[in-house]
């Protein structure tokens, strides 16, 4: 036997930019999304939403809706209550109304559902439901909610006498106070990160199918975490867990929007149980934008204690978070404000202290981490805006100030000021690569020249390090369920394989990259491996895909299960080669005899032997499962640099160049990684330049359609120059990979805003809140004042 070691790139292993296998069906229109699921006898559900942001429900009359031909069921909160389903628990230890019973608490809240032969009948019938509301004064920002005579939004909660949800703190208060006493200079900053929405192309939806004969409930749904949903349905609806099958088919983008549990899911499930027929609910765009998991909406202020030579001595941060009417953030349940305390992790700062206050308002619940590992986006945005402000106050160059305060390469493992442990990175090197690429010195000269001619050029730097891969089960759990993930690998006798994980791709390309990890570990060509996710009846238990945890956790499990398979294959190889196991060596795709390297067997031959020629006493077959509990988070790092030109007359700003230097450790598929970065940068640009969901003084949501909530098209989107030369492998991940899915969306926004602020340096303006719209820039230039701090309430 003379099999040879394989060329890893040729078999689609680690580092291969193999084309995404899932795209074959997506670009042919052959994807299978929730709305593509059509079952015999299926009915359709539509939701009636509240027109008012805050009102007592005096009565609901559904008789006219029931009378519409083709209507099968009208659900109200009162009916849900008979099943104990009018309220449901949230992932952050609060409760959320499924269908309103006592009050409505935000515009767009679910009040009733109609189930009919088709969605049009259901929608028409919804309009015939008569709800008698008694309007109450709405609260549209935290400050209103904190006023002493403010109406209590959550009067359903025993002991809730105001609108404060929590006060939380982390860090070293005394140490931070001391740092401020020793400071030569204290720099301050206050800003608002506006409410935005992940806005995937596909809205949320479900098809619930309860079969009375088999007692089995099958739900096709748009969820990023099918196993958690199964557990939640089992507990909330009190159904036996083995009788519940959750299937996430193809997902048309998630970006965090599809992590929470929504009333529509619950109502379609109950409707199917009551009617014993499949019930489909597909949300429309306005429903998606107005009622499902928004992001951010957070006020941040803080100060930095500085020594005059530029050393950062300490940081204080405070955040007021507007959570809407229910505290339903999707995050590890014990962290009230997500992982906001990852702020300043890349800087060597002796002491820091963060206080956070959460407030109920009459807005949709959520606070989902839109493309970010639980509030890291807000943390990094504040960090990089604060760093820029401090450098300006000190009169030190932006880049230099960052470099002198970075954690150095030989400082790892490093305890961050809020207590995380970072383990690897080359921060200064990433910055150098970025500065060289943008030609920093030259740009500064050009900028000075341009200024003489009255033109405003600016350069913004942002860095980010993100805690990705929640998490190790010691510290991370969701409602007590510990966080880890899994992979199951079955090698067929011909050496082909099927791999399943507890994660769930929504566009990230898991079907492509997981096969590459197996190819790397076993030498089986990636094209020979099918990857399946999202069906709780077949996939091993996992916590799902969000917070870029898939590669750090499920991806690690893929490597570990492959190694288990390799260990068994080694025994089979020794048997086939008639030597002892200790004499067998491994190279990609092949075992060989140490003393006679030309004698070897391929992994495929071992697979066949597992079914046809195993040694005495060996269990047949070649399959295994691995559960992976990561020892730590992974800590990717990035530097983003933007240059802009601002038009003085109009406030319009154009991106001249954008350079991105991402270090996510070992890249499994460089092309997919670049796609993730470009997508994230585009979302960052959108948040910085055009997106926000705002509310008028009456609590009406402005931003519930794409005329008001803007998505950048190819026309607006800047070009990006990506750099991949810095690679710091993760020391604890089996293949050295760190997460990447959200980095650019996390770190990007501050680079754009910093660039505009740099252009406006001469005006003395310190802050313009996102989105940095031309009218805000114009106002800042014209009146030489900050455009910030104020809640964006529109009076028109
Ligand atoms: N990858 C790689 N090498 C690395 C790291 C990652 O090749 N060192 C690959 C992975 O194998 C995977 C992709 O890049 O195919 C993203 O991996 P990872 O960083 O592990 O992130 P997740 O797979 O967990 O994806 C979640 C992340 C999140 S939380 C949001 S939000 C987001 C994002 O991914 N939503 C997305 N990117 C998205 N991309 C698309 N197209 N659609 C979404 O909804
Ligand atoms: Cu943070 S949005 Mo993603 O975690 O699904």
Say which CATH number the domain at 610 has: 3.30.365.10
Ligand 2 atom nearest the C-alpha of 373 is 1
One domain, residues 262 and 123 = yes
Q: Which residue has the tokens 């590890």?
A: 332
175 inside domain:
no
Angstrom distances, CA of residue 367 to CA of 229, 326, 330, 793:
19, 10, 7, 19
For residue 20, the 8-state DSSP code is: P
The count of structural domains within the chain is 3
Domain end point (choices 603, 628, 653): 628
641 inside domain:
yes
Helix (H) or strand (E) holding 448: helix 440-452
Domain end point (choices 628, 655, 672): 628
Ligand 1 centroid to 740 CA: how many Å?
6
What six digits make up the tokens of 613?
């020629």
Q: Best mutation site among 196, 370, 468 for ligand 2, i.e. most ligand atoms within 8 A of its Cβ?
A: 370
Domain end point (choices 628, 656, 689): 628
| pTM listed for this prediction | 0.97
d(CA 178, CA 693): 40
For 125, the domain range is: 43-136+203-251+258-291
Ligand 2 centroid to 607 CA: how many Å?
38
pLDDT at 333: 85
pLDDT at 419: 95
The dihedral sign for the CA sequence 767, 771, 773, 779: negative
337 inside domain:
no
For residue 576, the 8-state DSSP code is: H
565 inside domain:
yes
pLDDT at 3: 52
One domain, residues 583 and 674 = no
Residues of the chain with pLDDT under 50: 1-2, 791-796
Contact yes or no for 632/665 (Cβ under 8 A): no
Is 224 noted as a catalytic residue in this protein? yes
349 inside domain:
no
Of 107, 144, 224, 506, the catalytic one is 224
One domain, residues 642 and 620 = no
Helix (H) or strand (E) holding 780: helix 774-783
Is 25 noted as a catalytic residue in this protein? no
d(CA 186, CA 304): 6
One domain, residues 688 and 769 = yes
One domain, residues 612 and 681 = no
For residue 342, the 8-state DSSP code is: G
d(CA 388, CA 396): 10
One domain, residues 433 and 511 = no
Closest CA to 334 of 485, 474, 476: 476
pLDDT digits (tens, 9 = 90+) for 302-323: 999 999 999 999 999 999 999 9
Using DSSP bridges, classify how beta strands 185-196 and 95-97 pair: parallel, antiparallel or unpaired: unpaired
One domain, residues 541 and 592 = yes
One domain, residues 437 and 579 = no
Angle at CA of residue 236, ends 119 and 160, nearest 5°: 100
One domain, residues 509 and 623 = yes
402 inside domain:
yes
Residue 84: burial class (beta carbons within 10 Å; 0-12, 13-18, 19+) = exposed
One domain, residues 462 and 507 = no
- Strand-by-strand arrangement of the 110-116 sheet: 71-76, 110-116, 43-49, 279-282, 205-211, 216-221, 244-247
One domain, residues 622 and 676 = no
pLDDT at 369: 85
Contact yes or no for 91/85 (Cβ under 8 A): no
pLDDT digits (tens, 9 = 90+) for 214-252: 999 999 999 999 999 999 999 888 889 999 999 999 999
Q: Which residue has the tokens 């935000």?
A: 106
366 inside domain:
no
Give the CATH number for residue 94: 3.90.1170.50
Angstrom distances, CA of residue 464 to CA of 226, 372, 515, 750:
30, 11, 29, 10
162 inside domain:
no
pLDDT at 471: 87
Q: Check if 302 has its Cβ closer than 6 Å to any atom of ligand 1.
A: no
The CB-side HSE value for 425 (13 A sphere, CA atoms) comes to 31
One domain, residues 595 and 565 = yes
Ligand 1 centroid to 178 CA: how many Å?
41
């Amino acid at each position: 036997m003379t099999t040879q070691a394989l060329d890893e790139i040729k078999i689609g292993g680690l580092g291969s930019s193999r084309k995404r296998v899932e795209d074959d069906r997506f670009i042919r229109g052959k994807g299978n999304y929730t709305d593509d699921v059509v079952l015999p006898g299926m009915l359709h559900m539509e939701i009636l939403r509240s027109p008012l942001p805050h009102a007592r429900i005096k009565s609901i009359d559904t008789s006219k809706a029931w009378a519409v031909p083709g209507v099968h069921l009208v659900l109200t909160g009162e009916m849900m209550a008979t099943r104990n389903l009018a309220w449901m628990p949230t992932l952050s230890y609060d409760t959320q109304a499924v269908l309103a019973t006592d009050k409505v608490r935000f515009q767009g809240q679910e009040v009733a559902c109609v189930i009919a032969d088709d969605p049009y009948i259901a929608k028409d019938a919804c309009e015939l439901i008569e709800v008698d509301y008694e309007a109450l004064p709405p609260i549209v920002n935290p400050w209103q909610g904190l006023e002493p005579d403010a109406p209590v939004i959550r009067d359903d909660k025993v002991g809730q006498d105001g609108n404060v949800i929590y006060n939380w703190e982390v860090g070293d208060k005394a140490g931070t106070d001391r740092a401020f006493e020793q400071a030569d200079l204290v720099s301050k900053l206050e800003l608002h990160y506006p409410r935005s929405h992940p806005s995937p192309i596909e809205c949320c939806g479900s098809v619930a199918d309860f079969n009375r004969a088999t007692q089995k409930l099958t739900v096709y749904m748009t969820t990023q975490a099918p196993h958690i949903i199964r557990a939640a349905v089992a507990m909330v609806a009190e159904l036996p867990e083995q009788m519940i099958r959750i299937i996430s088919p193809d997902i048309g983008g998630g970006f965090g929007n599809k992590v929470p549990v929504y009333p529509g899911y619950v109502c379609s499930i109950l409707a199917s149980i009551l009617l014993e027929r499949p019930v489909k609910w597909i949300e429309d765009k306005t429903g998606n934008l107005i009622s499902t998991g928004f992001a951010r909406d957070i006020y941040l202020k803080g100060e930095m204690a500085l020594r005059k030579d530029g050393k950062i001595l300490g940081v204080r941060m405070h955040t007021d978070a507007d959570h809407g009417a229910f505290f339903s953030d999707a995050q590890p349940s014990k962290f009230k404000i997500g992982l906001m305390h990852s702020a300043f992790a890349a800087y060597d700062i002796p002491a820091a202290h963060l206080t956070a206050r959460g407030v109920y308002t009459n807005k949709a619940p959520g606070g989902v981490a839109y493309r970010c590992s639980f509030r890291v986006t807000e943390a990094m945005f504040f960090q990089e805006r604060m760093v820029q402000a401090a450098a300006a106050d000190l009169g030190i160059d932006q880049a230099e100030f960052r470099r002198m305060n970075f954690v150095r390469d030989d400082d790892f493992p490093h305890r961050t000021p809020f207590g995380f442990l970072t383990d690897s990175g080359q921060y200064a090197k990433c910055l150098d690569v970025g500065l060289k690429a943008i030609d920093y010195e030259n740009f500064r000269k050009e900028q000075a020249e341009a200024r003489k001619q009255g033109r405003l050029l600016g350069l913004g730097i942002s860095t980010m390090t993100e805690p990705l891969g929640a998490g190790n089960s010691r510290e991370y759990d969701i409602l007590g369920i510990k966080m880890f993930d899994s992979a199951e690998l079955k090698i067929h006798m011909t050496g082909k394989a099927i791999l399943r994980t507890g994660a769930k791709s929504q566009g990230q390309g898991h079907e492509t990259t997981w096969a590459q990890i197996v190819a790397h570990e076993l030498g089986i060509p990636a094209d020979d491996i099918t990857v399946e996710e999202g069906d709780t009846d077949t996939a091993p238990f996992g916590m799902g895909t969000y917070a870029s945890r898939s590669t750090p956790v499920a991806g690690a499990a893929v490597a570990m299960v492959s190694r288990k398979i390799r260990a068994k294959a080694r025994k089979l190889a020794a048997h086939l080669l008639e030597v002892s196991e200790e004499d067998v060596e491994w190279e990609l795709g092949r075992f060989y005899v140490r003393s006679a390297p030309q004698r070897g067997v391929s992994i495929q031959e071992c697979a066949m032997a597992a079914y046809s020629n195993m040694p005495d006493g060996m269990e047949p077959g070649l399959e295994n499962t691995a559960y992976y509990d990561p020892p730590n988070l992974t800590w990717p790092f990035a530097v983003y640099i933007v240059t802009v030109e601002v038009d003085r007359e109009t406030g319009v700003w154009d991106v001249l160049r954008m350079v991105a230097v991402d270090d996510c450790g070992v890249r499994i598929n460089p092309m997919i990684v670049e796609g993730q970065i470009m997508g994230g940068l585009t979302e960052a640009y959108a948040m910085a330049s055009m997106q926000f969901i705002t509310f008028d003084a009456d609590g009406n949501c402005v931003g519930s359609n794409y005329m008001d909530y803007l998505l950048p098209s190819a026309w607006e989107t800047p070009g990006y120059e990506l750099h991949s030369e810095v690679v710091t492998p993760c020391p604890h991940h089996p293949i050295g990979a760190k997460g990447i899915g959200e980095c650019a969306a996390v770190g990007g926004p501050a680079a754009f805003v910093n660039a505009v602020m740099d252009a406006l340096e001469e005006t003395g303006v310190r802050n313009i809140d996102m989105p940095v719209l031309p009218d805000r820039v114009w106002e800042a230039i014209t009146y030489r004042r900050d455009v910030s701090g104020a809640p964006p309430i529109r009076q028109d």
